[in-house]
Amino acid sequence: MLLPPGAPTACDSSTTAPTCVARIGGISFRVSKVAASQLINRVLLLEDTLRKHNIPVPVPTSTLDCHAYLVKRQAPSQAPPSPDQHPHSTHLGSLGHEIGTYSHRLDGRTTIPTTQHPGGCIDDELDQLSKRLGSLRVAEDGQLRYYGATSNMHLLNEAPGPQADSAPFCGYDADTCLAQAGVGHTVPRELEDHLIGLYFAWENPFIHVVDEDVFLNTRARALSQSTTDPKSQSPYYNQVLVNAMCAIGSAFTDRIILELPSPLAEFFGRRARVLLDADMDSPSVATVQALVIMSAHEAAVMRDARGWLYSGMAMRLAVDLALHMDPDPYVKKGTMDQHDVVARRVAFWGTFLVDLGWSYYVGRLTMHINLDGVTVPKPSHKSGKSRAWTHYTDEAIQPFNAPAPRQYPDTIDHVLEHQVSLYVIMVQLQKIFNDIKLHSRGIVNSSTKKVTRDLIHWRQSLPPEISTESIFQSSITLPHTLLLHMQYHEVMIFANHPLIAGASGAMTTDIREGCAESARAIALILQIYKQQWSLRRMNIQGVHMIFSATLVHLLLSCTSEDSSTREAAVNDLKVCCEALKELSIAFRSATRALDSIAKTKEKWQASLDNPDMDTTLKTYFQVQQPISDPKIWQAVDEVICQEQNMHQSGPQLDDVSWLDGWMAMQAMTADPFALGLA
């Protein structure tokens, strides 16, 4: 029962009386002044929290000045003022009665004893109620979990004990399940170390979801312990994560392990899936990281449905573990330390990047959370520490006179900081794609132009360590820096999309030039990458970037009437196709991209080279005459077929029905840069 407004009360902050008294219908309710002061402190804290989260503070029902009241409570004792000096005593009585009412609801007491200790039950209950905005609680599995405003779980002072069947796999159970799945082989520690090293060198810097120092230190402690007690396990290390890393690392090695099944990447991927099933009963930060890495592995082997699912699971679980929340309050309480802060921040932003990357890869609506609700600080190079990137390959484990891997000053903190800001722009562009049917072409055109301006500003604001100039002026540019620039140019291609950015029925000159410039830049960066690092090892996201650029080069090769432009496009097409061919050793998805390019060329040739057909393709690309010069198609054929012949034993793309949809090009509903990738 809440106290009605205007109910008679007696509560004087300056008197020595220990309680406030509220009366309703002859019944008196006594509330400690200490409790009232604590509640006011709590109200001020909650209001401050609301402001930090940009949530409007409710309009007060009284004119009580909480700050003034607290100052008066803390001031030296003075003569009691007259009743007319306390116009807010009624409101204080109301607050006191609400405390009593909440107490009755929680534990059945109808009144609060006047002798209540300030740090006793009343403070605990107020602490529980104040966390309605959301907080971390220890769940049944011993992991910290986030419960928000509409949850009642925060009322539990202590979590129930763990269920017997809720503990993650450990010891004999894990070995048994792996054996039953046919992947129970013993993995040499030396091989595991090597594959993890390859993962950290070539995959993690651009999909930065694991802090290397935290992981390696935690792993060293875990391997030195003989116990398999789940309670002693760190949230930043488990066997699911280890096997996921090894699955990706296997794509970067040429070693043949006769004792283990082949392909090695699928062997470790299968192990990770088996262990994941039980780990989901008690997930941790390591589970989030494993899901992100497993989604990359599934993309590499063309199981897009499973990869898309893993990415979404990772984002959901990241929120479950409150990785999106600012950990600073918990650091101050001693609940977390700086290692927790770093590991959680890296895990969240890596998950965010992968979730949005998957959305672009398959051309679907992203499931990531609204950034307005994210309070964990964005990555910043200022918060990072000086570190080195190691050029780690199979040569590092050669048995005789193997040279030590070379190390270079790492740019990972700069890359991650600006990668996040680039993806924020990508979110804006995706909203345009999602709402494209709701707006006219003119509105879409103006929106994409704004995104283009934002992208140009992003590029101009890059620090010297990762700027465009550094790529061409430095003798060495790290792989993740090169990939960041490739990502920028791919987004530029999307922002100047040939089939959505035009306000008229034909592709305008500026759209064509915008696409061509970014596609040429990707081809140039690929040549730099190949010269410095070889294309044998590259982050999985590079496949999609190259695919997008290749389609533009194919487009220009088939539709440009200027011979010099056409020749340059064919040369760039060759660069991109060669890159896809080399990447197909590690990623089957690169093979699919090459097959799609070949099928696209056949469809375009049939449409553009027919003198009796006035096709939509001719109209849109402003092709005045049929392309009857056989040298044009011959040059394109030589490029594509030459690279295709190098992987005839690989999987072939049987279903290319998406090309028929692309050919329709009606009302901007077909899209050669997004369709057919899933």
Q: How confident is the model at residue 188 (pLDDT cuts 50, 70, 90)?
A: very high
- Shared domain for 247 and 212, answered yes or no, is yes
- Shared domain for 454 and 583, answered yes or no, is yes
Q: What is the pLDDT of residue 657?
A: 39
State the average pLDDT over residues 351-373.
83
The more confidently predicted of residues 178 and 73 is 178
**Nearest one of 213, 217, 249 to 234, comparing CA atoms:** 217
What's at 84, amino acid-wise? D
Going 123 to 129 to 130 to 134, the CA torsion angle's sign is positive
The more confidently predicted of residues 183 and 678 is 183
Q: Does residue 363 register a pLDDT over 70?
A: yes
Residue at 195 is within a domain? yes
C-alpha distance from residue 343 to each of 285, 357, 379, 497 (Å)? 8, 21, 12, 37
Cβ count near 321 (within 10 Å): 24
Q: 């019944």: which residue's tokens?
A: 27
Compute the mean pLDDT over every residue in the chain, rounded to the nearest whole number.
Answer: 77
- Shared domain for 462 and 565, answered yes or no, is yes
- Shared domain for 196 and 101, answered yes or no, is no
Q: What is the pLDDT of residue 373?
A: 82
Is residue 590 packed enough to be buried (19+ CB in 10 Å), middle (13-18) or exposed (0-12)?
buried
Q: Does residue 44 register a pLDDT over 60?
A: yes
Q: What is the pLDDT of residue 203?
A: 98
Residue at 15 is within a domain? yes
C-alpha R_g of the chain = 31
- Shared domain for 350 and 228, answered yes or no, is yes
Q: What is the pLDDT of residue 286?
A: 97
Q: How far apart are CA 367 and CA 454, in angstroms?
A: 23
Q: Does residue 633 register a pLDDT over 50?
A: yes
Residue at 549 is within a domain? yes
Paired tokens of 581: 């061919």
Q: Does residue 279 register a pLDDT over 50?
A: yes
Domain boundary among 81, 104, 133: 133
- Shared domain for 554 and 617, answered yes or no, is yes
Domain boundary among 133, 158, 181: 133
Q: Does residue 69 register a pLDDT over 60?
A: no
What's at 97, amino acid-wise? H
Helix, strand, coil share of the chain (percent; to 5): 60, 5, 35
Q: Does residue 326 register a pLDDT over 60?
A: yes
Q: How confident is the model at residue 7 (pLDDT cuts 50, 70, 90)?
A: very low
Q: 């921040």: which residue's tokens?
A: 345
Q: Tell me the β-bridge partners of 361.
A: none
Q: How confident is the model at residue 660 (pLDDT cuts 50, 70, 90)?
A: very low
Residue at 128 is within a domain? yes
Q: What is the pLDDT of residue 136?
A: 65
Residue at 228 is within a domain? yes
- Shared domain for 100 and 217, answered yes or no, is no
- Shared domain for 282 and 314, answered yes or no, is yes
Instruction: Determine which of 66-75, 105-114, 501-510 has the lowest per-residue pLDDT on average.
Output: 105-114
Task: Give per-residue pLDDT as tens, 426-483.
Answer: 988 888 877 766 667 777 778 888 999 999 999 999 999 999 999 988 889 999 999 9
- Shared domain for 643 and 503, answered yes or no, is yes
Residue at 401 is within a domain? no
The more confidently predicted of residues 152 and 399 is 399
Domain boundary among 387, 419, 447: 387
Residue 222 CA, distance from chain mean position: 27
Q: Has this prediction a pTM greater than 0.95?
A: no
Residue at 71 is within a domain? yes
- Shared domain for 421 and 324, answered yes or no, is no
Paired tokens of 170: 């450990």
Domain holding 247, by residue range, is 172-387
Task: Give per-residue pLDDT as tens, 515-536.
Answer: 899 999 999 999 999 999 999 9
Q: How confident is the model at residue 639 (pLDDT cuts 50, 70, 90)?
A: confident
Instruction: Determine which of 102-106, 197-201, 237-241 has the lowest per-residue pLDDT on average.
Output: 102-106
- Shared domain for 233 and 117, answered yes or no, is no
Going 266 to 272 to 278 to 284, the CA torsion angle's sign is negative
State the average pLDDT over residues 5-13.
50
Residue at 21 is within a domain? yes
Q: How confident is the model at residue 259 (pLDDT cuts 50, 70, 90)?
A: very high
The count of structural domains within the chain is 3
- Shared domain for 361 and 419, answered yes or no, is no
Q: What is the pLDDT of residue 563?
A: 82
Q: How confident is the model at residue 655 (pLDDT cuts 50, 70, 90)?
A: very low
